[in-house]
Chain A
Amino acid sequence: AQSVTQLDSHVSVSEGTPVLLRCNYSSSYSPSLFWYVQHPNKGLQLLLKYTSAATLVKGINGFEAEFKKSETSFHLTKPSAHMSDAAEYFCVVSGSGGATNKLIFGTGTLLAVQP
């Protein structure tokens, strides 16, 4: 079965400092992995996706993630946090392979950015 574990429920950084949001995955086959961001009272916005091409994936708004099979990790990073990055972030694996694209979400990491 597919699953993702987000290792931190809350992360707080200062504006201009690096961001690291950690995610481990479990999958019985080569997974498709995604990071989504959710701002308060809004839907989910796709930040980036990994689908077995390059292991370092660049996304929108300066975010990137590295797929490490040996560590079963897909951590999200950004070199310099901005106040507008404050939101909830979800690590997501696509659920069953092939003909369906059921998404399985982690429990989320709430990112706070301090001025």
Chain B
Amino acid sequence: DAGVTQSPTHLIKTRGQHVTLRCSPISGHKSVSWYQQVLGQGPQFIFQYYEKEERGRGNFPDRFSARQFPNYSSELNVNALLLGDSALYLCASSTTGFDNQPQHFGDGTRLSIL
């Protein structure tokens, strides 16, 4: 079975632009979460979606938004990009999204802001 897939793998943008990152969960998984991993740090939680509804939001500005589609895939959007948004963006999926369910991660999208 395919794992979590993310696209694109790498992306270079300039300050002020906007970006859309995409994620396809493991088949049968209904929950998708997004994390930001800045170089040298652990991932930080951005959003969780389950059955197309937002279940959780981390401490990120409103420039960050996300949505989940009927097929459970998800998009993360970031507007007005800042240099500090340069990071590895990770998507994770799980079956129900409850806290005892392990999450399975994709390989991430490496976003570089110039």
Contacts and interface: CB of A to CB of B under 8 A. Distances in A.
A1 B33 CA distance: 20
A43 B99 contact: no
A36 B94 CA distance: 15
A42 B98 contact: no
Contact of B42 (A32, A52, A106): A106
B104 A101 contact: no
A101 B97 contact: yes
A42 B42 contact: no
Interface residues of B, number: 29
A90 interface: yes
A55 B105 CA distance: 25
Residues of A in contact with B, size category: 20 to 34
B108 A32 contact: no
Contacts of A70: none
Interface in B30-74: 31, 33, 35, 41-45, 48, 55-56, 58
Contacts of A106: 42
Contact of B43 (A32, A44, A97, A101): A44
16 contacts: A32-B100, A36-B105, A42-B107, A44-B90, A44-B92, A49-B100, A49-B102, A98-B98, A99-B97, A99-B98, A101-B48, A101-B98, A102-B33, A103-B33, A103-B103, A108-B42
Interface of B: 4, 31, 33, 35, 41-45, 48, 55-56, 58, 90, 92, 94, 97-108, 110
